[in-house]
């Protein structure tokens, strides 16, 4: 479960992490009224769960009523990387002198939570990790004991944070870890954590992702789930209705498979062969036509998708049953809107390949061939 920025900031503020004055608005007049109450300058920020909002035009800094009205009108209702913007967060602008990054996540390789601090805040932290990994100080935490104060101080020191704000940054990191642990978090981060001329630190952004399976013991966050879902991505909402494991990405090659490992393998191969994955979609077990049709409907509904690759492994569910399901599903469409490539393996895969209607799909014998063909189709459309 992903909290919106305004929800995460509410959680952080309640725990004592400083955040700017802010109000949520769902229309232009409400945004202007909020800006007037907070006082200019203010930032008007699209409330969608996607990175890179600023570069995509989803965050604007304004100095007066006219600019606020113009910015709110431009942002509300816009399509931001496939997400429809229904609300904006209006918050007081921060006069900052430095931008830091602090975050908590699970290092699965080490089997421990890891706290991270960097002086390269305000930019994509994944890019920093790839281009300059030494710029991110890391401190692993034993979950049996939690984060010790000395560990927070060490991470801040190793990152090279200005000693004038080191104590405050350490306190923020400690609080962030406590929230991550107490709220059953999967990720918690502040990027940027801004430093002002008065040596104060303020969380200018907030990310909080929570383990959905733990919501039964997080009643306050469970109440936020419906609100977050109602303003989230339409396709991800549809995936919840269909019972699919689905993550929307930014590429143009749609991926459908049965089993998370199989889908991840396909996703990696799309990237390996020069394509860009559009999604992660695991249909789970079963091959009934309506389930396959729902999966296709989801992927076809993504405007970014230019081709689709099916990677199905028949286990208990036989390959011939899967093939029948694919045929029946595709026959429900008057016109196949995107080229579909299918690869079957496992139980009765040969029978399944013979059953597939090659007027509706392209059939490939190997996963590598299927992925390459799907990537080629996507590239042809893009050209």
Annotated binding site for Mg(2+): 191, 205
Residues of the binding site for ATP? 45, 52-54, 91, 94, 99
d(CA 120, CA 117): 9
How far out from the chain centre does Cα 340 lie?
Answer: 26
Question: CA-based angle 221:139:195, to the nearest 5?
Answer: 70
Q: Which of 334, 337, 342, 382 is nearest to 256 (CA)?
A: 342
Residues of the binding site for substrate? 258, 315-317
Is 101 a known active-site residue?
yes
Is 6 a known active-site residue?
no
Residues of the binding site? 45, 52-54, 91, 94, 99, 191, 205, 258, 315-317
Residue 180, Cβ density class (10 Å: 0-12 exposed, 13-18 middle, ≥19 buried) = buried
Contact, 376 vs 278, CB < 8 A? no
Angle formed by the axes of helices 319-331 and 289-301, to 10°?
60
Q: Of 83, 101, 246, 377, which one is the catalytic site residue? A: 101
The CA dihedral of 307, 313, 318, 324, to the nearest 10 degrees, is 0
d(CA 71, CA 62): 8
Q: Of 189, 236, 306, 321, which one is the catalytic site residue? A: 189
Query: Distances in Å between the alpha carbon of 251 and those of 33, 219, 303, 354?
Result: 38, 35, 10, 31
Query: Across the strands, what pairs with 104?
Result: 115, 188
Contact, 287 vs 358, CB < 8 A? no
Catalytic residues: 101, 189
């Amino acid at each position: 479960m992903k909290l919106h920025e305004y929800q995460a900031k509410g959680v952080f503020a309640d725990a004592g992490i400083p955040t700017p004055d802010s109000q949520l608005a769902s229309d232009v007049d409400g945004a202007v009224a909020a800006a007037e109450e907070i006082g200019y300058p203010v930032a008007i920020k699209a409330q969608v769960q996607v990175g890179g909002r600023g570069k995509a035009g989803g965050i604007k800094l304004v100095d007066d009523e006219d600019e606020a009205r113009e910015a709110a009108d431009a942002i509300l209702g816009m399509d931001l990387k496939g997400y429809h913007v229904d609300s904006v967060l209006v918050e007081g602008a921060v006069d900052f002198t430095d931008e830091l990054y602090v975050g908590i996540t699970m290092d699965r390789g080490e089997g421990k939570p890891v706290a991270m601090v960097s002086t390269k805040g305000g930019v994509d932290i994944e890019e920093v990790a790839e281009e300059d990994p030494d710029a991110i100080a890391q401190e692993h935490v034993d979950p049996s004991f939690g984060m010790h104060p000395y560990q927070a101080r060490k991470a801040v020191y190793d990152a090279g944070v200005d000693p004038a704000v080191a104590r405050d940054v350490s306190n923020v990191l400690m609080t962030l870890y406590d929230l991550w642990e107490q709220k059953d978090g999967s990720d918690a981060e502040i990027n940027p954590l801004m430093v002002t001329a008065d040596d104060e630190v303020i969380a200018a952004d907030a990310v909080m992702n929570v383990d959905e399976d733990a919501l039964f013991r997080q009643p306050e966050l469970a109440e936020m789930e419906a609100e977050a879902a109602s303003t989230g991505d339409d396709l991800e909402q549809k995936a919840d209705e269909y019972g699919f494991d689905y993550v929307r990405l930014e590429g143009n090659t749609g991926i459908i498979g049965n089993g998370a490992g199989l889908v991840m393998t396909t996703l990696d191969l799309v990237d390996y062969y020069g394509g860009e994955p559009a999604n992660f979609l695991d249909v789970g077990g079963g091959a009934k036509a309506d389930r396959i049709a729902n999966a296709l409907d989801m992927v076809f509904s993504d405007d970014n998708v230019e081709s689709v690759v099916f990677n199905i492994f028949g286990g208990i569910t036989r390959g011939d049953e899967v093939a029948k399901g694919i045929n029946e599903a595709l026959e429900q469409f008057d016109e196949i809107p995107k080229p579909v490539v299918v690869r079957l393996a496992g139980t009765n895969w040969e029978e399944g390949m013979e059953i597939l209607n090659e007027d509706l799909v392209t059939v490939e014998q190997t996963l590598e061939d299927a992925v390459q063909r799907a990537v080629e189709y996507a590239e042809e459309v893009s050209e």
